[in-house]
């Protein structure tokens, strides 16, 4: 099992966890750690430490943070350097979190991270590009695009 720690600026982590709960229901070993206004790196590292102490030793741990190089990322990095069962990915969004929740019981952490790179690439779509492809392929008349 992979325990998941979501973190980001403001209430991002809490909201993301709540949104995933609407789709997957409440999940064990899914922890939101918000980085609130007025807090610093040291405070966030303490929050992470407390959460990590409650995670079973046999679990791998995945930090999902909002911004590469932001405070939530930087605060988690020392835990990853010293522990091979912990890793982190930045740029988390709801599709990524849902993929993690669907795979975390049967896919090892490193394999999951490789799969997530592709999911993120496929998940970012531009509507106008799809409409243009449809027009070019003459699959439907322009009035039937929407």
Annotated active-site positions, please? 9
Residue 10 has which token pair? Answer: 């403001």
Q: What angle do CA 28, 34, 36 make, to 5 degrees?
A: 165
Let me know: does 91 contact 120? Beta carbons within 8 Å. yes
Q: What whole-number distance in Å separates Cα of residue 80 and Cα of residue 86?
A: 5
DSSP string covering 8-28: EEBTHHHHHHHHHHHHH---T
Q: What whole-number distance in Å separates Cα of residue 135 and Cα of residue 93?
A: 30
């Amino acid at each position: 099992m992979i325990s998941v720690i979501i973190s980001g600026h403001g209430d991002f982590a809490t909201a993301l966890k709540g949104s995933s709960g609407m789709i997957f229901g409440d999940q064990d070993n899914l922890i939101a750690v918000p980085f609130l206004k007025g807090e610093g790196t040291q405070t966030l590292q303490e929050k992470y430490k407390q959460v990590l102490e409650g995670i079973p030793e046999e679990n791998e741990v995945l930090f999902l943070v909002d911004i590469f190089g932001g405070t939530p990322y930087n605060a988690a990095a020392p835990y990853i350097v010293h522990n091979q069962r912990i890793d982190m990915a930045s740029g988390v969004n709801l599709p990524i979190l849902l993929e993690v929740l669907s795979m975390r019981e049967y896919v090892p952490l490193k394999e999951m991270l490789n799969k997530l790179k592709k999911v993120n690439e496929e998940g970012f779509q531009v509507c106008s590009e799809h409409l243009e492809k449809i027009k070019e392929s003459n699959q439907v008349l322009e009035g039937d695009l929407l």
